[in-house]
Amino acid sequence: MSRRVLALVAVLALALAILTGLAVRKGVLGPEEQTAAVGGAFQLVDQTGATVDEDVLKGKWSAVFFGFTHCPDVCPTTLFEMAEVERLMGEKAGTLQTVFISVDPERDTVQQVAAYVKNDAFPRRLIGLTGTPEQVDRAAKAYHVYYQKAGEGPDYQVNHASYTYLMSPKGRFVCVLPYDLGPEQVAAKIETAMRAGPNATSC
């Protein structure tokens, strides 16, 4: 297969992933289609150095967010707000975990992620994941998450999607939690899904 054809296939695959992600975020797919469209197999490393896969999402409700530890605004704000969500939910938050997946494997080593997630202002039940560039890319594609390195040198940034996915205790997609929703509404949506049970397909 020629390079031109391979490049075209890659562009079409990226376009399909972006369109699917937009459809999910806008809610234009039916519940079953949305649940099937987001998530999938991945293998990453957590902040303790242990290799984990998609089963890390099972058994608890999971708020899955893609970001990076050098992120100046969106990432810490999202994690600060998820800590507030835990507070607002009280005992119900015991079945909720926040999963931070790095899209900056170049700088976000296990040690860097471990130090980052120790922030006392972040959620109490916070899992930090990183991996090789290939592993991170595979996970991002499974969740239709856009990210791209911006700039050069040690202080480069990473442009990335800012939304959070709520996944059920079965590891299945439930709904999108937009960045600008606010802790009160995020908590309300998660509690709505919890009332529907582990087979919830919306919130």
In order of start, what are the domains of the chain with their CATH numbers? Answer: 3-196 (3.40.30.10)
Give the mean pLDDT of 33-61. 90
Residue list for the binding site:
71, 75, 160
Question: C-alpha distances in angstroms, 46 versus 61, 65, 118, 172?
Answer: 18, 14, 13, 20
Report the pLDDT value the prediction gives residue 27, as an integer from 0 to 100: 45
Q: How high is the pLDDT of residue 36?
A: 52
Position 37 scores a pLDDT of 74
The set of residues, in sequence order, having a beta carbon less than 8 Å from that of 32 and lying 6+ positions away, is 201
Place of tokens 């296939």: 9
Compute the average pLDDT of residues 110-133.
98
Q: What is the pTM of this model?
A: 0.83
Name residue 146's amino acid.
Answer: Y
> Which candidate, 42, 43, 45, places its Cα nearest to that of 109?
45
- Per-residue burial over 126-153, b if 16 or more Cβ lie within 10 Å, else e, is bbbbbbeeebbbbbbbebbbbbeeeeee
- The whole-number pLDDT of residue 5 equals 39
Instruction: Indicate whether 115 pLDDT > 60.
Output: yes
Residue list for the binding site for Cu cation = 71, 75, 160
The whole-number pLDDT of residue 16 equals 40
Lowest mean pLDDT among 27-31, 33-37, 134-138, 180-184: 27-31
Q: Is 40 helix (H, G, I), strand (E, B) or coil?
A: coil
